Amino acid sequence: MNGPQDLGGKHGFGPVVPEDETLRFHADWEKRVLGVTLAAGALGHWNMDASRHARESLPPAVYYNASYYEIWLRALEHLLEDAGEITAEELAAGRALAPGRRTDRCLKAKAVPAVLASGSPYDRPGPDPRFVVGDRVRTRNHQPKGHTRLPAYARGCEGVVTACHGAHVFPDSNAQFAGEAPAPLYTVRFAATELYGAGADPTLTVSIEAWEPYLDRA
């Protein structure tokens, strides 16, 4: 979907101001949001792509006026409500009015370091790749209603495959609970002028990770 998060190459949103990488949280409540998100994810109702889709599906007026962890919190409310773990009445009351559905699954505090350290590998057995390094490809100019990891600024553009990474979970399918549908994943390099037009710096290139369903042979 063309959500509010997809701002690459767009003007009018002000400069990007990078923060100090050592600054993880601005307030204690942000730590709590991260913890609750991890614990809620352990309930098993959704996957990482579905949670990302929930964040990117927030209305633009909400998304653009929210901080990073507020976006996480708003999306988590929708995920939990859709899963039947909380109700609109409980959100309004600010407390539980009944037990949750999946009380048998709980992420214990002592297990968190191991869970975070293990990560979430998304490489899978899958079909052989159609493309090899050096192939010229063109991204599809699609405007999907559902989730996609192909940024809007790179659609319908021609680039060169610079790396093949094997098959990985296809997020467009996984986010809709339609199966992992593993697909080959590539790094594709584009000239800046191909993405942004003649006014772009001709010496610059941009590389993105693109799943095979996004690509056609140029």
Q: How confident is the model at residue 101 (pLDDT cuts 50, 70, 90)?
A: confident
Average pLDDT over residues 49-75: 96
Report the largest interatomic distance among the alpha carbons of the chain, rounded to a whole angstrom.
Answer: 60
Complete domains list, the chain, with CATH: 28-118 (1.10.472.20), 136-217 (2.30.30.50)
If phi > 0 it is left, if psi is from -120 to 50 it is alpha, else beta; for residue 214 that is alpha
What does the H/E/C string look like for 47-80?
CHHHHHHHHHCCCHHHHCCCCHHHHHHHHHHHHH
Predicted confidence band at 73 (pLDDT cuts at 50, 70, 90)? very high
Alpha-carbon distance 209 to 163, whole Å? 9
Q: What is the pTM of this model?
A: 0.91
Task: Kindly state the average pLDDT of the residues 103-112.
Answer: 85
Top-confidence residue, 105 or 67: 67
Percent of the chain surpassing pLDDT 70: 100
53-62 pLDDT tens trace: 999 999 999 9
pLDDT at 77: 97
> Which of 141, 135, 130 lies closest to 183 in space, CA to CA?
130
Q: How many CA atoms lie within 13 A of 151 on its CB side?
A: 16
pLDDT of residue 1: 81
Cβ–Cβ under 8 Å, residues 215 and 131: yes
Give the pLDDT score at 86: 95
